[in-house]
Amino acid sequence: MPMPLTIAALHAEYAKCPDPFATLDRVYAALTAADDPGIFISLFAIEDAKAAAAKLPPFDPSKYPLWGIPFAVKDNIDVAGLPTTAACPAFAYAPARHAVAVQRLIDAGGIVIGKTNLDQFATGLVGVRTPYPVPRNAIDPTLVPGGSSSGSAVAVARGIVPFALGTDTAGSGRVPAALNNIVGLKPSLGAISTTGLVPACRSLDCISVFALTVEDAWTAARAMAAYDADDAFSRPVAFERQGLPPKLRVGVPDARSLEFFGDAIAAAAFQRSLAALADFDASCKSVDLAPFHDVARLLYSGPWVGERYAAIRPIIEANDSVLHPVSRRCICRILRTRRVAP
């Protein structure tokens, strides 16, 4: 069987023979084998990735925890040398520098290979609101890949890269992780700089991590976490892991909070999941989700939509026909019907 593409496995190989070029050969071969044009919007040529690898310092994982680790970046996060499109070609620009989070990963020894697909302007949880081909769900291609960080989730789930960056404003990192059966880590707000990120909702945006293991997700997130004086929402966050409690405790939505919109299959699957918790000797606590539903309405049907509008206001007001029709409807509808002042 091929070696699992994790940080620990790669570093075990590098301890014997520090050859990131062979790893990059494997990454680009896996990308070709995936035969899915929807995963990446843009890529570095393998020669460029190997040129970056050639500049790595000597192998020292204690000093460079991501030494020789290839990773992908959601295409609303700046990577110098590749355009930032946010899945809207008319919006594309060429960033002069890496986003702060990306630069910190590179400084830790990581190697960027490309920019991944997304729901346009990170507006959506389905992963299909893109003018590019839609990434195929890695578990079941008949299902949506989840979004908005669709390409990043699929790139990790298909074994192309050990980890990838997404964003998470209201589930854009956790939803596609769940739908592709991988780990999705959303850090505390402000723990990771968003300088160099195209905002979705500036006051709520987080850069998130996709990985095959919790350990890998944590390693990448910790490498990025740092206070950034140029980010108004940045704050020092103690990035230390706590041990798990002796008994698993799970919050379960109470009966009034559950809504399956008539989907009996989803309702049955939810009940099976609850029953499966017994195998883990878990204790369940009922949770009232009404406050969360109220906050969701603020994000999708209330004032936070104004932040989405403000983030891309120039392109909307110049020619909103370049937007994906669903993105345009989500971002523009409320502001225009309520005549919110600019």
Chain centroid to Cα 78, Å, comes to 14
Same domain, 209 and 173: yes
**Residue 282 falls inside a structural domain:** yes
**Residue 239 falls inside a structural domain:** no
Residue 1 has what pLDDT? 38
Residue 297 has what pLDDT? 85
Residue 342 has what pLDDT? 43
Do 161 and 113 form a contact (C-beta atoms < 8 A)?
Answer: yes
- Reference 42, options 125, 129, 113, 140; nearest CA is 113
Residue 306 has what pLDDT? 86
Are β-strands 163-167 and 110-116 bridged in parallel, bridged antiparallel, or unpaired?
A: unpaired
Q: Is 157 helix (H, G, I), strand (E, B) or coil?
A: helix
**Residue 302 falls inside a structural domain:** yes
* Bond preceding residue 321 cis, omega within 30 of 0: no
> How far apart (Å, rounded) are the C-alpha atoms in residues 118 and 154?
11
55 catalytic residue (yes or no): no
> How far apart (Å, rounded) are the C-alpha atoms in residues 240 and 270?
32
Contacts of 298 (CB under 8 A, 6+ apart): 304
321 catalytic residue (yes or no): no
Domain ends where: 169, 191, 224?
Answer: 224
Same domain, 270 and 159: no
- Reference 168, options 188, 144, 151, 154; nearest CA is 188
Same domain, 34 and 175: yes
Both tokens of 283, joined, read 């204790």
Q: What total of structural domains would you count in the chain?
A: 2
Do 74 and 166 form a contact (C-beta atoms < 8 A)?
Answer: yes
pLDDT by residue for the chain (342 residues), tens digit each? 356 789 999 999 999 999 999 999 999 999 999 999 999 999 999 999 999 999 999 999 999 999 999 999 999 999 999 999 999 999 999 999 999 999 999 999 999 999 999 999 999 999 999 999 999 999 999 999 999 999 999 999 999 999 999 999 999 999 999 999 999 999 999 999 999 999 999 999 999 999 999 999 999 999 999 999 999 999 998 877 777 778 888 999 998 889 899 999 999 999 999 998 888 888 899 999 999 889 888 887 778 888 888 889 999 989 989 999 999 888 886 555 444 444
> How far apart (Å, rounded) are the C-alpha atoms in residues 20 and 47?
12
> How far apart (Å, rounded) are the C-alpha atoms in residues 150 and 82?
19
Contacts of 266 (CB under 8 A, 6+ apart): 260
Contacts of 283 (CB under 8 A, 6+ apart): 247, 248, 249, 250
The CATH number that applies at residue 110 is 3.90.1300.10
**Residue 129 falls inside a structural domain:** yes
Same domain, 134 and 43: yes
Same domain, 321 and 178: no
- Reference 160, options 23, 30, 4; nearest CA is 30
**Residue 116 falls inside a structural domain:** yes
Q: How many CB atoms lie within 10 A of CB 92?
A: 14
**Residue 260 falls inside a structural domain:** yes
Same domain, 213 and 320: no
Same domain, 70 and 11: yes
> How far apart (Å, rounded) are the C-alpha atoms in residues 244 and 163?
23
- Reference 234, options 104, 68, 83, 53; nearest CA is 104
Q: How many CB atoms lie within 10 A of CB 216?
A: 26
Same domain, 111 and 252: no
Q: Give the number of C-alpha atoms closer than 13 A to the C-alpha of residue 230, restricted to the C-beta side.
A: 8
Residue 247 has what pLDDT? 85
Out of 149, 150, 152, 172, which one is annotated catalytic?
172
Element (H, E) at 111: strand 110-116
Do 84 and 96 form a contact (C-beta atoms < 8 A)?
Answer: no
Same domain, 194 and 80: yes
Same domain, 280 and 198: no
Q: Is 41 helix (H, G, I), strand (E, B) or coil?
A: strand
Same domain, 254 and 144: no
Domain span at 294? 246-342
Same domain, 212 and 251: no
Q: Give the number of C-alpha atoms closer than 13 A to the C-alpha of residue 113, restricted to the C-beta side.
A: 29
User: What residues does 74 pair with on adjacent strands?
Assistant: 116
**Residue 237 falls inside a structural domain:** no
Element (H, E) at 106: helix 100-107
Q: How much is the CA Rg of the chain, to the nearest whole Å? A: 20
Residue 335 has what pLDDT? 57
> How far apart (Å, rounded) are the C-alpha atoms in residues 75 and 49?
17
